Amino acid sequence: MKLNWETGFQPRTTHSLQLPYEEYVYALDMAKDIGDCSSRLIRLPNNMIALCIQDMGAKQAAASLSINIGSLADPPELQGLAHLLEHMLFMGSEKYPDKNEYKSYITDNFGFPNATT
């Protein structure tokens, strides 16, 4: 089934914080059998689409993010932009102002960063 990106998503909010998101309301054709897991497709307010898979038998939680853009999409007049933005993420932000503070946050929570452009 082809996803209808315009009409297939319905507004929702998270339970406790009442944060907005949209959930795809039609059945998903999964390429592989995911066993007893349940899945949902959601769209966040920034238009990022996420596939959420829940396995109640799992002993750990995991998350992975892949953004299908990088150095090959740099405009000709801004070569190196993707690489610069990758470095900026780990050099400090409003929420994590110190150099490598975000990286420390990730590793302190048993994750690992693997950014490539």
Active-site residue list: 86
**Measuring CA to CA, how many Å separate 80 from each of 71, 72, 76, 83, 91?**
7, 9, 9, 5, 16
Long-range interactions of 87-95: CB distance < 8 A, separation 24+: 89/115, 90/115
Distance between CA atoms of residues 13 and 20, nearest Å: 4
Tokens 């899945």 identify what position?
A: 39
